[in-house]
Structure 1
Amino acid sequence: MSAPRPLLGAIAVVVRDGQVLLARRRKAPDAGLWGYPGGHVEAGETALMAAARELREETGVVARPLAYLTNIDVILPGPDSPPGAVGAEFSGVHFLLAAVLCRYEAGLPEPDDDVSECGWIDQELVLSGGLPMSDQVDTVLRLALAHPALTDRG
């Protein structure tokens, strides 16, 4: 029996006018928490393409992917997984999320798909931890705000 493999996902990080676009997840594992729109990368699709597609599907917002910011491991051990289990001993779910910086192009945020709410959230609220958020949302926002592509208008 082969060991489970990590699932590849992409999240879209869109920053505009002192705000960041976030979505409140409808489903587990982060149901009720705010995070970046995103989802699975399809076969033959780059994570850059997937981030833009998932953003559009979940929020109706169109944005152009600019750059990879970081990768995030989301590891959810199953009830049978011993602590620190890897490979065949691991019985949970492992997502590897590519965080993609995107430049807003068009659209008003409207929740759809796996999202119960979405909207432009003040950056300071996110950075201060003032919302119930998925892990590393504030860290990823700091990376986005420091990225040179935000100031490059080319």
Structure 2
Amino acid sequence: MSQAPKLAALAVVIRADHVLLVQRKNEPDAGLWGFPGGHVELGETALAAAARELHEETGVTAHPLRYLKNIDVITTGTDGAVRFHFLLAAVLCDYVVGDPVANDDASAAEWVPVRDILGNQRACSAHVDDVIRAATRC
């Protein structure tokens, strides 16, 4: 673990009462469903990173519209030491084209009914439901 938190961006794409989610292949949150996303590169905005990571992970193209919220993800080991520390910038994106296919560090990618997520019908990463609520209030 580095001594500084890592900045990552999440692409939040909602279309026809469905949200695009990926099942994570790697820790943290391996096996859980969440938004496509990943690290922000040096000199890249989180808005641009969200669109890039979305395409890399799913093949879907979308235009980033605006920031929804920030999420701190800090996990510790049994010894209390920090294992992961991410600041996630959730970015609302407008769908353009593409059918989701799992690539990169996603083991699955699909359009999931928003009601399933809000009804806890899918094992999701923390705050996925909060971000969806923020996105659907826009």
TM-score by length of 1: 0.86
Counterpart for residue 12 of structure 2: 13
Give the distance between the partners of 2:112 and 2:26, measured in 1 at CA.
21
Counterpart for residue 68 of structure 1: 67
Which runs of at least 4 in structure 1 moved beyond 4 Å after TM superposition? none
Give the distance between the partners of 2:24 and 2:84, measured in 1 at CA.
18
Counterpart for residue 91 of structure 2: 100
CA drift at 1:79: 4.2
Structure 1 unaligned regions, length at least 5:
82-89, 148-154
Larger Rg: 1
Q: Is 2:24 the counterpart of 1:33?
A: no
Q: Is 2:136 the counterpart of 1:137?
A: no
Give the distance between the partners of 2:5 and 2:131, measured in 1 at CA.
21
C-alpha spacing 1:91/1:143, structure 2 compared with 1 (3 Å)? closer
Counterpart for residue 152 of structure 1: none
Q: Is 2:46 the counterpart of 1:55?
A: no
Q: Is 2:41 the counterpart of 1:42?
A: yes
- Deviation sequence 1:78-109 (CA, Å, 0-9, x none): 4443xxxxxxxx54321000000000001110
Counterpart for residue 122 of structure 1: 113
- Deviation sequence 1:57-98 (CA, Å, 0-9, x none): 0000000000100000000124443xxxxxxxx543210000
- Deviation sequence 1:35-58 (CA, Å, 0-9, x none): 000000000000000000000000
TM-score by length of 2: 0.95
Does the 8 Å CA contact 1:78/1:93 hold for their aligned counterparts? no
Give the distance between the partners of 2:10 and 2:127, measured in 1 at CA.
12
Find the residue that maps to 2:87 and give its secondary structure.
Answer: strand
Give the distance between the partners of 1:142 and 1:27, measured in 2 at CA.
26
Does the 8 Å CA contact 2:71/2:87 hold for their aligned counterparts? yes
Structure 2 unaligned regions, length at least 5:
none
Find the residue that maps to 2:110 and give its secondary structure.
Answer: strand
Counterpart for residue 102 of structure 2: 111
Amino acid in the other structure paired with 2:20: L
Q: How many residues align?
A: 137
Identity of aligned residues (%): 55
Q: Is 2:13 the counterpart of 1:22?
A: no
